[in-house]
Amino acid sequence: MKILIVDDDRANRLILSAYLKKDGYTVVAAENGLEAIGVFQSEGPDLILMDVMMPVMDGYEATRRIKMMTVDKFIPIIFLTAMTDEKALSQCVEVGGDDFLTKPYNRTILKAKIDALERVSQLYNTVFQQKRELISHYEHEAKEQEVARKVFDSILNPGCLSSDNIQLHLSPMSLFNGDVVLAAVKPTGGLHILFGDFTGHGLAASLGALPLSDVFYSMTAKGYSISDIVRESNHKLKQQLPTGMFLAACLVEIDTNNMVLKYWNGAIPGAFLHKGDSIVDLKSKNLPLGILGDSVFSDKVDIIEIHDRDRIILTTDGILEAENSDGKMFGLERFEACLHYDLKVASDNLTINSLPADDSPPSELDADLFQHILDTLDDFTLEQEQTDDVTLGVITCDINYINQLASQKGAYKKFVPTHWKFDLYFFYDSIKSIDPVPLVNQIMGEIQGHQIQQDHLSTVLTEMFCNSLDHGLLELDSSLKSTPEGFMQFYSDKESRLNGLESGSILISVSNAPNDTGGELTIVFEDSGKGFDVKKMQNEMSSVDKDTPIKFSGRGLSLINNYCQSVTYNDSGNRIECVYSWLNNDI
């Protein structure tokens, strides 16, 4: 151990040096404070014995400067003084002194003080070294987490969360978010959205989002319904999540073809539809995903008629359970009050301004509602520490905008249009559990590539299947859909009749003939039902004025006629054949 003696008295320096050398210490010396600083910088002593009163620079100033140079290391300084004045001793502590040694010097006391401060120095320097190692580990972990977060973001957000009709606020407690928001456009038009909240926070909670997003995006791209998606998501999360971990989730589908909102809510408390001049609570009727097994899990969705510009408001419990300084929660009642406040703003504005045109961008009221909720939350919490992930979404049902969104598709290899054909038979029991349209889309994609999976084709397939199922096998009357109440009754009757179906089948036949621009698909749907009066239907459709809005009944057949080159029926009406032209952009 090297010790620096700083004293202007030569005798004192010699006495102390003799004591220290006899105890095995290395000794260096300085005559004043300024010289002590130079010796300290050149010799790097482990401990300093500092006199107080010296010429050129006193011990106070020298100690202050040396301590400023040793912020990353503990160098003990023992003041040498004959003073007993409390004020003078206090000043020694204030400038950084660690102990005192009064004159005349006692060798035993000097050795004891040096030994004690040596132990403190070793402990301090060990702790400081450990701190530096911890900082290094922390910085390394932070870099790895940032890389992982970017990978997570690229996996979780390939959809359309940045679309103009979606306003989103994500505020995780840590770098990784236990809340998950997914959104993707359907091939048949419309929008799928998933709002979820995993148990826990941080990395562990966010890991479940990886298999979830894989199911959501892949099944949406293939045209599956949210009923199919929610069942498959539950199956995968039940298999992969550890016991005690699950996902509270709300899945919604904005069906722009039928102007309805379909939703499945599993334990998300803040889910609402801002519908015209009223607020509809999209109440939870299910347990979270990842709890129930396949045999007892319910994938039943609820359906609500919607209009252009209606808004969906979704939030996880991070907002509802946010606390103020008094420990009170924001709560569902206060959240709903924000929604009703926006109704008043809308009402006041509509007394002054005319209704927006159908092709205008989303209303500024959307931004008002979104920001009003966040401002109200900030005013309530007054910057209290966040105790949960906070997520809020406002989705505007801007029908024209949603229909214009392009599906996010991955890279595909080039396919040359070829001749091919396949036939699929679905019997009554398989129809109850299988949606054939995504399967047909998938088969065509495997044969001909993603170029053939065009939006209008998926719409044609969906409408042809619904026609065969609803009016062929189930014998439903589409005129029920002429009123909102009848619309709901139609879907209720469809569910009960499908569950009770004990016979019947549907044949789907698709063939392709290549041409210079792509190909012509011949699509046939034939059911075993009684059919319908084809001539009556054709007369009704031909008598409708082109400027007359299409009603919900007959809407599907009109879409098929618009998108296909030809549409023919057999006399009994249980077989429909369409020719659809598709373009290959690789040609």
| pLDDT tens sequence across 32-69 | 999 999 999 999 999 999 998 899 999 999 999 999 98
CA distances from 328 to 335, 336, 385, 569 (A): 14, 17, 13, 65
Give the C-alpha separation, 453 to 458, whole Å. Answer: 7
3-state helix, strand, coil in the chain (%, to 5): 45, 20, 35
- What is the 8-class DSSP label of residue 356? P
Low-confidence ranges of the chain (pLDDT < 50): 350-365, 406-412, 546, 549-552
Q: What is the pLDDT of residues 414-430, one digit of tens each?
A: 678 899 999 999 999 99
What residues does CATH 3.60.40.10 cover in the chain?
160-404
Give the C-alpha separation, 459 to 256, whole Å. Answer: 11
- What is the 8-class DSSP label of residue 32? S
What residues does CATH 3.40.50.2300 cover in the chain?
2-127
Out of 2.40.50.100, 3.40.50.10310, 3.30.420.10, 3.30.565.10, select the CATH number for domain 420-583.
Answer: 3.30.565.10
For domain 2-127, the CATH class is alpha beta
Q: What is the dihedral of CA 275, 281, 285, 288, to 10 degrees?
A: 100
- What is the 8-class DSSP label of residue 184? E
Give the residues across from 265 on adjacent strands.
250
Give the C-alpha separation, 522 to 566, whole Å. Answer: 10
Q: 253 exposed, middle or buried (CB, 10 Å; 0-12, 13-18, 19+)?
A: buried
- What's the CATH number for 160-404? 3.60.40.10
For the entire predicted model, the pTM comes to: 0.62
Give me 188's structure tokens. 């048949």
What residues does CATH 3.30.565.10 cover in the chain?
420-583
Give the C-alpha separation, 303 to 290, whole Å. Answer: 24
The phi-psi region of residue 236 (left if phi > 0; otherwise alpha if psi is between -120 and 50; otherwise beta) is alpha
Q: In 3D, which of 230, 270, 264 has the Cα closest to residue 390?
A: 270
Specify the DSSP element, H or E, that contains 494.
helix 484-499
